[in-house]
Chain A
Amino acid sequence: MNNLKKWLGVVWMLLSPAVVVFMILQAVDKINKATDATKANVTLQWSIILIIFFPICIGFLIFGYYGFKGYYDQLPTKSSEITDY
């Protein structure tokens, strides 16, 4: 199971920038296709989506990295394992 966690971590790390690139391409495509009347709305929608999901994708990248490094192999059983820095 720990091996699976590790290699899936790589998948998450790859998936994260892929999602960002996909969303940017979609945003450019949809904004370009929008008519003059709808351009402002479409740009607003995609800006919101990108602003929200970009940090989440970074979080997902870090999650993948933690998985790859084996930080999820052993989860804490006591709070002291979390708070004793």
Chain B
Amino acid sequence: MEQTNNPKKGMAFIIGASSVGTLIEWYDFYIFGMLATIISKQFFPEDSGTSALLSTLAIFAAGFIVRPFGALVFGRLGDLIGRKYTFLLTLILMGGSTFAIGLVPGFKSIGWAAPLIVLALRLVQGLALGGEYGGAATYVAEHAPPHRRGFWTSWIQTTATLGLFLALGVIILIRDTQGVEKFSDEWGGWRYPFWISLLLVIVSILIRLKMSESPMFAKVKAEGKTAVNPLKESFGHRANFKMVLLALFGGVMGQGVIWYTGQFYAQSFLENTVKLEFMQNREILLWSIALATPFFVLFGWLSDRIGRKWIMLTGMLLGVIFYRPIFNSMLKSADVKEWSKTKYSFLKDEIKITMYKGDSVLEIASSYETHDKSRFTRVLIDTLKKGRTEIQEVEQIIVATKKAVYNNKILSPFLKWKFILLIWVMIIFVTMVYGPMAAFLVELFPTKIRYTSMSLPYHIGNGVFGGLVPFLGTLIVEFTKTKDLALGDPLAGLWYPIGIAALCFVIGAIYLPNKIDNNVMD
């Protein structure tokens, strides 16, 4: 089987066709997470915001939990019937379920049927994603010449981050065009990203239909050497199962937490802990992703020269060392107490009195601007007794010892670029661990059970360990809440990714080989 004589144009088509589909699957998967707050309001009862958010997070987690099952189901199919038709099927399932989520009426219209349908569709999304990546990575790797496998597969590795970029961009564009209120309505603009998916998927399916089967799989199939039972051969025999475990604990587990901390957790931290304004938070992430994405390809290329292992492990180690200083720097840089030490000016007051559960609630939002053009809003909220809305009563309560909340922070241009740099650095760690990952996984397993064998550790590491970073991070912060520290230690959530990345680094450093497998045809 000739592996090295693919014409460049053919290779570009193979990579393009595989990558576009994978990118769309990531896009589909991420829009749900990014719109979690709105989705929780639309599909869950309004009795408690926290309850709704947690319900959505549970669905979010469920999406990640079913990914390993998707890896098993579609990995098996991919090793039995071929890569091409399997990742075509995952694309259809993903596109269909994403589009359908955008069509489900809210809780107000159909009651508990709404969250149940959304949960079911989310599970289908998770299953489909579980089958997609392994197929695309295997397909490209099985076409690539050995000395460029890291480089070519690194294009597939850009798709997860670019999917995030696309999802962010589409949401921001629609929200900005439509306005926040209309965007958040039951049938508002938040549904458009789900509907757009259908168009993207149709285009991608048409492209993928033109692709041919992987040459290595075609050869194995022609020789009648395909696996009879890929699951048993992958996980039932020690010789292969030990490599599955090694891939998971010595590579993908650390990659997963680095990926999610640098991108998702960072975004959630800026929004919920630092209290950055919605649009600026997204803008910072978009810039960082755009500037860091070429490094996936750079590190993929580099891995063809110096091996995969130490590039990936260095990325993990840097995360372990620098996460706390980076997050701490962001927290301190946006601390209003620090901003208030220098001169700042008052911009405006917005006073609202609304009813909440039979009480009248007062909210005073005062906006300020610092000398270097950072802005923040100081919000005082208090509950007034029924019928006590007279201004003099209000003033008495404002003067009382109520704690102000600072939110909607807009960073000055200097601080904004500082934050972009900090997030960029964390995404560089991501590119180091993730860029060479596909080539690394492909080279660990034989052709006939490759799809199954590499998909499971990938989706446990990335989906479970990585996907639960925001969930477990929030949970750990909850544990640190005391009477004296009502909000808990805002950096405590980082101990989970730091611990997992450190453990993975030790295992990888000691157990993993640094060889580049020139022959993945067998």
Chain A positions near chain B (C-beta within 8 angstroms): 1, 4-5, 8, 30, 37-38, 41, 44-45, 48-49, 51-52, 56, 59-60, 62-63, 66-67, 71-72, 75-83, 85
- Contact check, A82 vs B249: say whether CB atoms are below 8 A apart: no
- Contact check, A83 vs B242: say whether CB atoms are below 8 A apart: no
- Contact check, B239 vs A85: say whether CB atoms are below 8 A apart: yes
B325 at interface by CB-CB < 8 Å: no
B401 at interface by CB-CB < 8 Å: no
- Contact check, A83 vs B233: say whether CB atoms are below 8 A apart: yes
Known: A8-B510, A45-B58, A60-B249. A76 touches B243 (CB 8 A): yes
Binary interface profile of B, 43-67, with partner A (CB < 8 Å = 1, else 0)?
Answer: 0000010110011001001100100
**Which of the residues B233, B245, B507 comes within 8 Å of A62, measured between beta carbons?**
B245
- List B residues 421-454 near A (Cβ within 8 Å): 445-449
For the complex, what is the distance from the CA of A64 to the CA of B82, rounded to whole Å? 34
- Contact check, A83 vs B475: say whether CB atoms are below 8 A apart: no
- Contact check, B48 vs A37: say whether CB atoms are below 8 A apart: yes
Min CB–CB distance B300 → chain A (angstroms): 22
- Contact check, A48 vs B65: say whether CB atoms are below 8 A apart: yes
Complex interface: chain A residues within 8 A of B515 (CB)? 77
Complex interface: chain A residues within 8 A of B460 (CB)? 56
Min CB–CB distance A79 → chain B (angstroms): 3
Closest 7 CB pairs of A and B: A79-B446, A79-B522, A63-B245, A82-B239, A41-B54, A82-B240, A66-B242
Query: Which A residue sits closest to B243, measured CB to CB?
Result: A82
For the complex, what is the distance from the CA of A45 to the CA of B246, rounded to whole Å? 28
Query: Which B residue sits closest to A67, measured CB to CB?
Result: B511
Complex interface: chain A residues within 8 A of B519 (CB)? 78
- Given A63-B246, A66-B238, A82-B240, 11 further pairs, Cβ under 8 A: A5-B510, A5-B511, A30-B479, A41-B50, A45-B471, A45-B475, A63-B242, A67-B511, A76-B243, A82-B237, A82-B446
Complex interface: chain B residues within 8 A of A80 (CB)? 522
B413 at interface by CB-CB < 8 Å: no
B179 at interface by CB-CB < 8 Å: no
B72 at interface by CB-CB < 8 Å: no
**Which of the residues A44, A66, A82 comes within 8 Å of B58, measured between beta carbons?**
A44
B111 at interface by CB-CB < 8 Å: no
Binary interface profile of B, 145-161, with partner A (CB < 8 Å = 1, else 0)?
Answer: 00000000000000000
Complex interface: chain B residues within 8 A of A30 (CB)? 479
Min CB–CB distance A55 → chain B (angstroms): 9
Complex interface: chain A residues within 8 A of B448 (CB)? 83
- List B residues 30-84 near A (Cβ within 8 Å): 48, 50-51, 54-55, 58, 61-62, 65
29 contacts between A and B (CB under 8 A): A8-B507, A38-B50, A41-B51, A41-B54, A45-B58, A49-B468, A51-B65, A52-B464, A56-B464, A60-B245, A62-B245, A63-B242, A63-B249, A66-B238, A66-B245, A71-B242, A72-B511, A75-B243, A75-B513, A76-B239, A76-B243, A77-B515, A80-B522, A82-B243, A83-B239, A83-B240, A83-B449, A85-B233, A85-B237
Give the number of residues in B that approach A within 8 Å (Cβ atoms).
Answer: 41
Min CB–CB distance B123 → chain A (angstroms): 13
Complex interface: chain B residues within 8 A of A62 (CB)? 241, 245
Known: A4-B510, A8-B510, A82-B445. A72 touches B246 (CB 8 A): yes
For the complex, what is the distance from the CA of A56 to the CA of B445, rounded to whole Å? 20
B248 at interface by CB-CB < 8 Å: yes
Known: A83-B233, A83-B449. A52 touches B65 (CB 8 A): yes
For the complex, what is the distance from the CA of A29 to the CA of B233, rounded to whole Å? 41
Complex interface: chain A residues within 8 A of B464 (CB)? 52, 56
- Contact check, A81 vs B239: say whether CB atoms are below 8 A apart: yes
For the complex, what is the distance from the CA of A18 to the CA of B273, rounded to whole Å? 32
Min CB–CB distance A56 → chain B (angstroms): 7
- Contact check, A79 vs B447: say whether CB atoms are below 8 A apart: yes
- Contact check, B246 vs A83: say whether CB atoms are below 8 A apart: no
For the complex, what is the distance from the CA of A1 to the CA of B51, rounded to whole Å? 50
- List B residues 318-348 near A (Cβ within 8 Å): none
**Which of the residues B48, B50, B62, B242 comes within 8 Å of A72, measured between beta carbons?**
B242
Complex interface: chain B residues within 8 A of A59 (CB)? 245, 248-249
Min CB–CB distance A52 → chain B (angstroms): 6
For the complex, what is the distance from the CA of A5 to the CA of B233, rounded to whole Å? 25
